[in-house]
């Protein structure tokens, strides 16, 4: 099987986490991960541009086949929702500009897939990401969340493939 490469993203205006993950023969590794850290004084439009430019460069450098993104979380503040929506827009624009399909995963589903509990703490996600990828250090929280989104996407792909395969053993005939 050829190597699968994906770009996974945890959008946020001031700290967008990203990860480029590759998988071959069931073995997943991180090619690159990090955080787009936008300082508080940077205007919103410059933050959005920084997110877009970083992701665009990652896509050009690694040629992923798709993008996996953490979906919108429920927020009580409309201002927070608008800012988060703008950051997601910059992320989705990067994918659309390069023709990448986008797959979205709810935060609870990501935690469930990586930690086994949908209400897991960020430290637990970081620890499991480190263990699952065999990293020497725990990634920064935003990057760990992005890696977790990518691992969730690979698990979703595996699940679809498992159901698409015919069951093992002889085929059953009707009326026999």
CB burial of residue 51 (10 Å; 0-12, 13-18, 19+): buried
Phi, psi of 129 (to 5 degrees): -60, -45
Residue 54 in tokens: 């970083």
Active site residues: 10, 70, 142
68: exposed, middle or buried (Cβ count in 10 Å: 0-12, 13-18, 19+) = buried
Q: Residue 145: helix, strand or coil by DSSP?
A: helix
How far CA 119 is from CA of 8, 16, 107, in Å, comes to 21, 21, 9
């Amino acid at each position: 099987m050829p190597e699968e490469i994906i770009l996974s993203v945890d959008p946020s205006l001031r700290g967008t986490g990203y990860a480029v993950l590759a998988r071959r023969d069931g073995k997943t590794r991180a090619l690159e991960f990090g955080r787009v850290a936008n300082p508080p004084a940077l205007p919103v439009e410059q933050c959005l541009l920084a997110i877009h430019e970083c992701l665009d460069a990652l896509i050009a450098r690694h040629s992923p086949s798709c993008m996996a993104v953490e979906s919108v979380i429920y927020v009580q503040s409309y201002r927070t929702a608008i800012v988060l929506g703008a950051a997601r827009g910059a992320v989705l624009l990067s994918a659309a500009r390069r023709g990448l399909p986008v797959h979205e995963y709810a935060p609870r589903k990501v935690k469930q897939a990586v930690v086994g509990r949908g209400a897991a703490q960020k430290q637990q996600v970081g620890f499991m990401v480190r263990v699952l990828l065999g990293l020497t250090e725990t990634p920064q929280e935003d990057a760990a969340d992005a890696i977790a989104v990518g691992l969730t996407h690979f698990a979703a792909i595996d699940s679809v493939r498992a159901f698409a395969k015919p069951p093992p053993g002889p085929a059953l005939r009707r009326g026999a």
